[in-house]
Structure 1
Amino acid sequence: MAYLNPGAGAAREGRQAAAQTDMPAVTTTAAAGANPTKAEFDKVVTDLTAARSAINGLLAKLRAAGVIAS
């Protein structure tokens, strides 16, 4: 399918955002028992925080490049 607005496409051509760092390796493993320990839960929270930061960074860069709306 052809791009319907070539003028807007030309305005974005060649614009690259800064590189996004990779998300760190996941630190969690399966819980040993039926209920996770506090340490296991804290690892899940840490991993979720890292994932959220990576996703938000990517979204901010896509918005800055004009790929997605603000």
Structure 2
Amino acid sequence: MPYLNPGAGAAREGRQAAAVTNVAAATASAAAGATPTKAEYDALLADVAAMRTKVNALLAALRSAGLMAS
């Protein structure tokens, strides 16, 4: 639903946030044993860092489009 405030509605209606690309495929997989190896942990950590970067990019895009407060 478009923003209906007569004073500000026209400026916001139809405005889009900048595009943010999808997150790449996950590199982590299920641990082979009861305790994850360093390589398994590092892969999971890299995936979490990539997700954090994408979430921050989405939030920045929403703020710059005026759809979310700074």
Q: Provide the TM-score with structure 1 as the length reference.
A: 0.85
Q: Which residue of 1 aligns with 2:41?
A: 41
Specify every segment of 5 or more residues in structure 1 that has no aligned partner in the other structure, as ranges.
none
CA distance, structure 2, for counterparts of residue 28 and residue 59 of structure 1: 25
1:55 to 1:42, Cα distance in 2 relative to 1, 3 A: same
Runs (4+) off by over 4 Å: 1-4
RMSD: 2.0
TM-score for both structures, normalised by structure 2: 0.85
Percent of aligned pairs with the same amino acid: 64
Q: How many angstroms does 1:3 deviate by?
A: 4.7
Residue 69 of structure 1: aligned partner: 69
Match of 2:60 in 1: 60
Q: Which of the pair is proportionally richer in helix?
A: 1
* 1:4-25 deviation line (CA, Å, top 9, x unaligned): 5243232112333331111000
Taking the TM superposition and a 5 Å limit, the aligned residue runs for 1:8-47 are: 8-47=8-47
